[in-house]
Amino acid sequence: MMIRKLAIVALAALFFASTAEAKQKHVELEAKAELEVEVVNEDGEKTIQRVPAVKVMPGEVVVYTITARNVGEEPATNVVITDPVPEHMDYTGSVTGDGARVTFSVDGGKTYDVASALTVPVGGGSKPAPPEDYTHIRWTFNDALEPGSAHSVEFRARLQ
Protein backbone atom coordinates (compact mmCIF):
# COMPACT_ATOMS: atom_id res chain seq x y z
CA MET A 1 0.00 0.00 0.00
CA MET A 2 2.66 2.42 1.07
CA ILE A 3 4.83 1.46 -1.84
CA ARG A 4 2.06 2.03 -4.33
CA LYS A 5 1.40 5.53 -2.97
CA LEU A 6 5.04 6.43 -3.23
CA ALA A 7 5.12 5.23 -6.78
CA ILE A 8 2.22 7.49 -7.72
CA VAL A 9 3.85 10.52 -6.12
CA ALA A 10 7.07 9.81 -7.98
CA LEU A 11 5.21 9.45 -11.26
CA ALA A 12 3.33 12.69 -10.68
CA ALA A 13 6.56 14.52 -9.93
CA LEU A 14 8.07 13.25 -13.14
CA PHE A 15 5.03 14.33 -15.12
CA PHE A 16 5.00 17.87 -13.75
CA ALA A 17 8.70 18.26 -14.24
CA SER A 18 8.48 17.25 -17.86
CA THR A 19 5.53 19.54 -18.71
CA ALA A 20 7.16 22.45 -16.93
CA GLU A 21 10.20 22.04 -19.10
CA ALA A 22 8.24 21.71 -22.30
CA LYS A 23 5.90 24.62 -21.73
CA GLN A 24 6.48 27.07 -18.93
CA LYS A 25 3.16 28.51 -17.74
CA HIS A 26 3.60 31.85 -16.03
CA VAL A 27 0.02 33.14 -15.93
CA GLU A 28 -3.06 31.14 -14.99
CA LEU A 29 -6.54 32.27 -15.82
CA GLU A 30 -9.72 31.54 -13.88
CA ALA A 31 -13.29 32.32 -14.96
CA LYS A 32 -16.36 32.49 -12.73
CA ALA A 33 -20.04 32.99 -13.49
CA GLU A 34 -22.07 34.29 -10.57
CA LEU A 35 -25.43 35.83 -9.75
CA GLU A 36 -26.00 38.73 -7.41
CA VAL A 37 -28.75 38.12 -4.90
CA GLU A 38 -30.11 40.47 -2.28
CA VAL A 39 -29.79 39.09 1.20
CA VAL A 40 -31.33 40.60 4.31
CA ASN A 41 -29.10 40.10 7.34
CA GLU A 42 -30.11 39.80 11.01
CA ASP A 43 -30.20 43.59 11.37
CA GLY A 44 -32.61 43.86 8.47
CA GLU A 45 -29.97 45.39 6.23
CA LYS A 46 -29.96 44.43 2.63
CA THR A 47 -26.71 43.31 1.17
CA ILE A 48 -25.78 41.98 -2.23
CA GLN A 49 -24.19 38.55 -2.20
CA ARG A 50 -22.73 36.62 -5.05
CA VAL A 51 -23.71 33.01 -5.56
CA PRO A 52 -22.72 30.55 -8.28
CA ALA A 53 -24.87 30.88 -11.42
CA VAL A 54 -27.06 27.94 -10.50
CA LYS A 55 -30.50 29.30 -11.38
CA VAL A 56 -30.28 31.32 -14.56
CA MET A 57 -33.42 32.12 -16.49
CA PRO A 58 -33.84 34.51 -19.41
CA GLY A 59 -33.40 38.12 -18.31
CA GLU A 60 -31.02 37.20 -15.49
CA VAL A 61 -27.79 39.19 -15.20
CA VAL A 62 -24.66 37.11 -14.73
CA VAL A 63 -21.44 38.57 -13.29
CA TYR A 64 -18.39 37.14 -15.01
CA THR A 65 -15.12 37.45 -13.12
CA ILE A 66 -11.86 36.61 -14.80
CA THR A 67 -8.76 36.38 -12.66
CA ALA A 68 -5.20 36.32 -14.02
CA ARG A 69 -2.62 34.98 -11.56
CA ASN A 70 1.11 35.02 -12.10
CA VAL A 71 2.30 31.59 -11.04
CA GLY A 72 5.75 32.04 -12.51
CA GLU A 73 8.87 33.70 -11.21
CA GLU A 74 9.13 36.54 -13.72
CA PRO A 75 6.85 39.56 -14.10
CA ALA A 76 4.30 39.17 -16.90
CA THR A 77 4.07 42.24 -19.08
CA ASN A 78 1.64 43.33 -21.82
CA VAL A 79 -1.06 41.26 -20.13
CA VAL A 80 -4.23 41.30 -22.20
CA ILE A 81 -7.42 39.47 -21.22
CA THR A 82 -9.95 38.99 -23.99
CA ASP A 83 -13.44 37.66 -23.40
CA PRO A 84 -15.96 37.16 -26.18
CA VAL A 85 -19.43 37.92 -24.83
CA PRO A 86 -20.96 34.45 -24.56
CA GLU A 87 -23.56 33.35 -27.07
CA HIS A 88 -27.13 33.98 -25.83
CA MET A 89 -25.86 36.79 -23.58
CA ASP A 90 -26.02 40.57 -23.97
CA TYR A 91 -23.33 42.70 -22.41
CA THR A 92 -25.10 45.13 -20.07
CA GLY A 93 -22.58 47.99 -20.20
CA SER A 94 -21.23 47.16 -16.73
CA VAL A 95 -17.52 46.42 -16.65
CA THR A 96 -14.82 46.58 -13.98
CA GLY A 97 -11.19 46.85 -14.91
CA ASP A 98 -9.11 48.84 -12.41
CA GLY A 99 -5.55 49.13 -13.58
CA ALA A 100 -6.48 48.19 -17.12
CA ARG A 101 -7.59 49.93 -20.26
CA VAL A 102 -10.95 48.48 -21.31
CA THR A 103 -11.80 48.30 -24.99
CA PHE A 104 -14.60 46.59 -26.85
CA SER A 105 -15.27 45.10 -30.22
CA VAL A 106 -18.51 45.27 -32.17
CA ASP A 107 -17.17 43.35 -35.17
CA GLY A 108 -16.49 39.92 -33.74
CA GLY A 109 -13.06 40.75 -32.36
CA LYS A 110 -11.47 42.20 -35.49
CA THR A 111 -11.05 45.69 -34.05
CA TYR A 112 -11.24 47.12 -30.56
CA ASP A 113 -11.90 50.62 -29.28
CA VAL A 114 -13.13 52.47 -26.23
CA ALA A 115 -16.89 52.39 -25.75
CA SER A 116 -17.46 56.00 -26.78
CA ALA A 117 -15.81 55.46 -30.17
CA LEU A 118 -17.84 52.39 -31.18
CA THR A 119 -20.55 52.67 -33.79
CA VAL A 120 -22.73 50.28 -35.67
CA PRO A 121 -24.25 50.93 -39.09
CA VAL A 122 -27.82 52.12 -39.25
CA GLY A 123 -29.50 53.00 -42.50
CA GLY A 124 -26.87 54.79 -44.58
CA GLY A 125 -24.91 56.08 -41.57
CA SER A 126 -23.97 54.86 -38.14
CA LYS A 127 -25.04 55.25 -34.53
CA PRO A 128 -23.34 54.72 -31.18
CA ALA A 129 -23.14 51.00 -30.55
CA PRO A 130 -25.48 49.86 -27.75
CA PRO A 131 -23.77 47.58 -25.20
CA GLU A 132 -25.75 44.55 -26.38
CA ASP A 133 -24.03 44.87 -29.76
CA TYR A 134 -20.60 44.38 -28.20
CA THR A 135 -19.06 41.08 -29.18
CA HIS A 136 -15.79 41.13 -27.22
CA ILE A 137 -14.37 42.83 -24.16
CA ARG A 138 -10.65 43.35 -23.73
CA TRP A 139 -8.64 44.43 -20.72
CA THR A 140 -5.10 45.66 -21.41
CA PHE A 141 -3.22 45.78 -18.09
CA ASN A 142 -1.43 49.06 -17.35
CA ASP A 143 1.23 47.40 -15.24
CA ALA A 144 3.14 44.16 -15.17
CA LEU A 145 1.60 41.29 -13.24
CA GLU A 146 4.21 40.48 -10.63
CA PRO A 147 4.99 36.90 -9.59
CA GLY A 148 2.55 35.67 -6.96
CA SER A 149 0.04 38.40 -7.61
CA ALA A 150 -3.42 38.18 -9.17
CA HIS A 151 -5.70 40.67 -10.80
CA SER A 152 -9.41 40.30 -11.50
CA VAL A 153 -11.68 41.97 -14.02
CA GLU A 154 -15.43 41.69 -14.34
CA PHE A 155 -18.31 42.29 -16.68
CA ARG A 156 -22.03 41.73 -16.53
CA ALA A 157 -24.17 40.16 -19.21
CA ARG A 158 -27.86 39.40 -19.39
CA LEU A 159 -29.23 36.08 -20.60
CA GLN A 160 -31.39 36.58 -23.69
Partner 1 sequence: MLQLNMKWIASAVLVLALVVSADVVLADGTQAGTVVLNTALVDYDVNGTGQTQESASEDFTVDRKIDLTVAVNHVAYVQTSPSSTTAILRFTVENTSNDALGFALSAVDEAAATVEPTLTGTDEVNAITFAIYEDVNGDGLLDGGDTQDYIDTLAIDATTDVIIVAEIPAAAAITFGDNLMLSALAQAAESGTLGATLVTASGADAQDVEDTEFIDASGDTVAGTDAVDDAIHSDMWAFVIQGADITVTKTATLFSGSYYIPGSVVEYTITVANGAGVEDATNVDLVDTVPANTTFVGGTLTVGGVAQSEGTSGDDFGDFNVSTAGAVSALNMTVATGTSTDVVFRVTID
Contact positions toward partner 1, by CB under 8 A? 23-33, 52-59, 62, 64, 66, 68, 72, 74-84, 86-90, 122, 127-128, 130, 132-133, 145, 159-160
Asked whether 91 and 137 are in contact (CB, 8 A), the reply is yes
**Shortest spacing between CB 54 and partner 1, in angstroms:** 5
**Shortest spacing between CB 134 and partner 1, in angstroms:** 12
Q: Which is nearer to partner 1, 6 or 146 (CB)?
A: 146
Q: To the nearest 10°, the Cα dihedral for 40, 41, 46, 48?
A: -90
Asked whether 73 and 139 are in contact (CB, 8 A), the reply is no
Q: Which is nearer to partner 1, 6 or 98 (CB)?
A: 98
- The string over 53-70, giving b where at least 16 C-beta atoms fall within 10 Å of a residue's C-beta and e elsewhere, is eeeeeeeeebbbebebbb
Q: Is 13 helix (H, G, I), strand (E, B) or coil?
A: helix
Q: Which is nearer to partner 1, 47 or 126 (CB)?
A: 126
Q: Which is nearer to partner 1, 24 or 94 (CB)?
A: 24
**Shortest spacing between CB 56 and partner 1, in angstroms:** 5
**Shortest spacing between CB 25 and partner 1, in angstroms:** 7
**Shortest spacing between CB 114 and partner 1, in angstroms:** 19
Question: Can you say whether residue 27 is alpha, beta or left, with left for phi > 0 and alpha for psi between -120 and 50 degrees?
Answer: beta
- CA–CA dist 148, 112 (Å, integer): 30
Q: Which is nearer to partner 1, 2 or 25 (CB)?
A: 25
